[in-house]
C-alpha cells in the first residue's frame, strides 16, 4: 500500500518489508525466505528475472543481520568484547543500517529505469493509513525494547518485558491475538490440545529453539578468545598484518577486510566475527582506529559471509524460491550490497568517520558535533550513489565507459577519504550528473 503500483513499487516493497521484518528477527535466511515466499510472484510480474529477484531478496535479508534492534547474535558478542552496553551497539548500527537500505532503494530505482520494469497491478488493498490505524499496536513491542534499555534494564530483561508487551498488545484484536478469544470454547479437541495449539505456545517454542544456537555460539566464543589470548596469537597476527601493510592504515584495512571475508567463506557470520575480532582487530587498533570502529568494521565484513559461497545461505535460500541459479543469484546479491559494504572504510580511515557510528556511545554522542555527523553521513550517501551508478552502469541514462570511470572515482574519493577527495568526488559526480541530464533532455 505504501509503495504504490509504480515500476519501482515492488522493489521498494521488498526492501521496506525486509527492513521491518529483518530488524526484529535478526536472521538473514529467515527474512529472505519469509519475504521471498510472498514477494517473488510480485517481482516476477514486475519484470525481474529469477536471479535478479533472488539477489534482491537475499540483499534485503542480509540487512537483518546489521539492523537494530537485534543484529543477530553478534551484537551481544560485540558488547562483550568491548565491555559496553547492548544499547551502545544498537546506537552504532543506526546510520550504517539507514545507508544500507538507502543503497538498496537506489539500486531498485536504477533497476526500474535500466530494465524497464513494469507496474505490477494487483487486487485492490486497503490503504497504508487504514492498515496502520488498525494494527498500530504491533509497533509497541519493537519500540519497547529500546525504551526498556533506555530506562536502564538489562538486554535480557528488556527482551522479556518487550515479549510481555507483544503478548498483551496482540490481544487488542481477535485476529492477531496470541491467546484466542475462544480458547475456553469447547470443541472436539481436549482443552490441553487446544492450549498447545495456540499462537503463544508456538511462539515460545520457536524462541526457545532459536536461542540454542546463540548459547552454543557464545560458549564457543569464550573458548576461542581464551585460546588466542593465552597463546598471544592475536598480537603476533596483528604485527604480521601491519608489517605487510608497511604501516599504512588503508592497506591494513584492506587486508583486514580480505581476511575477514576469506574466513567467512568457511564459517557463518558469528564465528567469522569471533575469530577475526581477536586476531585482526588489534592491527587496526594499533594504528589508531578506535576499538569500537575496528570491531564494527570486522562485523560488517563478517556479514558478507551470508552472501558468499560456499556458505551463502541467503542467496541459496532465495534461489530455491525463485528457481534461479544459486551462484548467479549470489553474484546478483553482491551487486546489490557491495556499494553499502564500502561504508565501513569511512569509519576506519577518516577520523570524522566514527560519526557514522554516532561516536560509539550515548555518553560520547552527547558531546559530539552533530553538524560533522550530518556532513559525514551526507558525503557517504553521495559516495553510495556514485558507486551504485558505476556498478549498475546507469544513473539517469546508460553510462558510457568514461562516465562509469568517473562515477567509480567519485565513489572511491567520497568513501576512502584522501587529500582533495571530497573535491574530486563531488566534482566527478556532478559532471556525470549534469552531462547525463543534458543527454536526457535532448532525448525528450
- DSSP secondary structure string for all residues of 359-389: GGSHHHHHTS-HHHHHHHHHHHHHHHHHHHH
- pLDDT confidence of 429, banded at 50, 70, 90? very high
Identify which of 52, 58, 18 has the alpha carbon closest to the alpha carbon of residue 306: 58
pLDDT of residue 12: 84
pLDDT at 407 over 90: yes
Cα–Cα distance measured from residue 26 to residue 256, given in angstroms and rounded to the nearest whole number: 25
**Residue 8: per-residue pLDDT:** 67
Of the listed ranges 65-69, 279-283, 309-313, 435-439, the one predicted with least confidence? 309-313
pLDDT for residue 327? 84
Lowest mean pLDDT among 28-32, 189-193, 230-234: 230-234
Number of H helices, E strands in the chain: 22, 0
Going by C-alpha positions, the residue among 374, 377, 355, 375 that lies closest to residue 365 is: 355
In three-state secondary structure terms, 398 is strand
Q: How does pLDDT run across 120-150, given as a tens digit for each residue?
A: 555 545 555 676 777 777 778 778 877 887 7
Q: What number of other Cβ atoms are within 10 A of residue 141's Cβ?
A: 20
CB neighbours (10 Å) of residue 231?
Answer: 10
The DSSP result for 27-77, as a single string, is -HHHHHHHHHHHHHHHHHHHT--HHHHHHHHHHHHHHHHHSTTT-TTHHHH
Backbone phi and psi for residue 123, each to the nearest 5 degrees, phi listed first: -60, 145
How far is 246 from 328, CA to CA, in rounded Å? 37
Per-residue pLDDT band at 428 (split at 50, 70, 90): very high
Q: Which residue has the higher pLDDT, 226 or 109?
A: 109
More confident residue, 366 or 129: 366
List all residues 6 or more positions away from 174 whose beta carbon is below 8 Å from its beta carbon.
180, 181
What pLDDT is attached to residue 382?
93
What is the dihedral sign for C-alpha 75, 76, 79, 84? positive
* Contact status, residue 346 vs residue 376, Cβ threshold 8 Å: yes
Q: Is 215 exposed, middle or buried (0-12, 13-18, 19+ CB in 10 A)?
A: exposed
**Could you tell me the pLDDT band of residue 2, with boundaries at 50, 70 and 90?**
very low
Taking residues 51-63, report their average pLDDT.
89
**Are 437 and 396 within 8 A, CB to CB?**
yes
Band of pLDDT at residue 7, cut at 50, 70 and 90: low
Per-residue confidence band for 259, with pLDDT thresholds at 50, 70 and 90: confident
DSSP state of 83: T
Band of the pLDDT at 439, cuts 50, 70, 90?
confident
Distance (Å) of CA 245 to CA 26, 147, 253, 300: 35, 44, 9, 21
Which of residues 123 and 343 earns the better pLDDT score?
343
Question: pLDDT tens, 75-93?
Answer: 778 888 888 888 888 889 8
**Does residue 1 have a pLDDT over 50?**
no
The three cell numbers of residue 135 are: 494494527
Report the C-alpha gap between 297 and 110 in whole angstroms. Answer: 28
164/157 Cα distance (integer angstroms): 11
Confidence of residue 366 (pLDDT cuts 50, 70, 90): confident
Which residue from 87, 11, 86 is spatially nearest to 47, judged by alpha carbons? 11
* pLDDT higher than threshold 90 for residue 21: no
Q: 34-48, 263-277, 292-306, 355-369: which has the minimum mean pLDDT? A: 263-277
Amino acid at each position: 500500500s505504501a509503495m504504490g503500483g509504480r515500476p519501482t513499487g515492488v522493489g521498494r516493497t521488498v526492501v521496506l518489508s525486509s527492513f521491518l521484518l529483518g530488524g526484529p528477527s535478526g536472521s538473514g535466511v529467515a527474512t529472505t525466505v519469509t519475504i521471498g515466499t510472498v514477494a517473488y510472484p510480485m517481482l516476477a510480474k514486475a519484470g525481474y528475472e529469477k536471479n535478479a529477484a533472488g539477489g534482491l531478496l537475499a540483499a534485503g535479508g542480509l540487512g537483518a543481520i546489521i539492523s537494530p534492534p537485534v543484529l543477530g547474535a553478534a551484537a551481544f558478542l560485540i558488547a562483550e568484547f568491548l565491555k559496553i552496553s547492548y544499547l551502545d551497539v544498537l546506537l552504532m548500527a543506526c546510520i550504517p543500517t539507514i545507508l544500507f537500505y538507502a543503497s538498496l532503494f537506489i539500486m531498485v530505482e536504477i533497476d526500474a529505469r535500466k530494465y524497464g520494469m513494469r507496474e505490477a497491478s494487483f487486487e485492490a488493498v486497503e490503504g497504508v493509513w487504514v492498515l496502520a490505524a488498525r494494527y498500530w499496536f504491533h509497533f509497541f513491542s519493537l519500540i519497547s525494547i529500546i525504551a526498556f534499555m533506555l530506562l536502564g534494564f538489562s538486554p535480557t530483561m528488556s527482551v522479556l518485558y518487550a515479549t510481555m508487551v507483544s503478548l498483551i498488545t496482540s490481544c487488542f484484536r481477535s485476529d492477531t491475538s496470541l491467546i484466542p478469544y475462544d480458547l475456553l470454547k469447547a470443541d472436539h479437541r481436549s482443552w490441553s490440545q487446544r492450549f498447545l495449539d495456540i499462537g503463544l505456545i508456538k511462539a515460545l517454542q520457536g524462541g526457545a529453539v532459536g536461542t540454542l544456537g546463540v548459547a552454543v555460539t557464545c560458549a564457543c566464543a569464550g573458548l576461542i578468545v581464551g585460546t588466542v589470548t593465552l597463546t598471544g596469537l592475536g598480537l603476533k597476527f596483528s604485527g604480521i598484518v601491519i608489517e605487510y601493510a608497511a604501516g599504512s592504515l588503508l592497506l591494513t584495512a584492506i587486508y583486514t577486510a580480505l581476511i575477514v571475508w576469506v574466513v567467512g567463506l568457511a564459517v557463518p557470520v558469528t564465528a567469522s566475527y569471533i575469530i577475526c575480532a581477536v586476531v585482526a582487530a588489534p592491527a587496526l587498533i594499533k594504528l589508531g582506529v578506535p576499538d569500537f570502529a575496528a570491531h564494527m568494521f570486522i562485523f560488517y565484513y563478517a556479514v558478507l559471509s551470508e552472501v558468499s559461497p560456499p556458505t551463502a545461505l541467503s542467496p541459496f535460500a532465495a534461489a530455491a524460491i525463485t528457481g534461479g541459479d544459486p551462484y548467479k543469484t549470489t553474484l546478483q546479491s553482491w551487486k546489490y550490497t557491495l556499494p553499502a559494504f564500502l561504508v565501513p572504510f569511512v569509519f576506519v580511515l577518516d577520523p570524522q568517520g566514527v560519526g557514522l557510528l554516532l561516536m560509539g556511545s550515548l555518553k560520547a554522542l552527547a558531546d559530539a558535533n552533530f553538524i560533522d555527523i550530518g556532513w559525514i553521513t551526507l558525503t557517504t550517501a553521495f559516495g553510495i550513489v556514485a558507486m551504485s551508478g558505476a556498478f549498475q552502469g546507469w544513473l539517469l541514462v546508460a553510462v558510457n565507459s568514461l562516465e562509469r570511470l568517473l562515477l567509480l572515482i567519485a565513489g572511491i574519493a567520497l568513501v576512502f577519504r584522501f587529500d582533495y577527495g571530497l573535491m574530486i568526488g563531488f566534482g566527478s559526480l556532478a559532471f556525470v550528473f549534469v552531462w547525463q541530464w543534458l543527454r536526457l533532455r535532448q532525448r525528450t
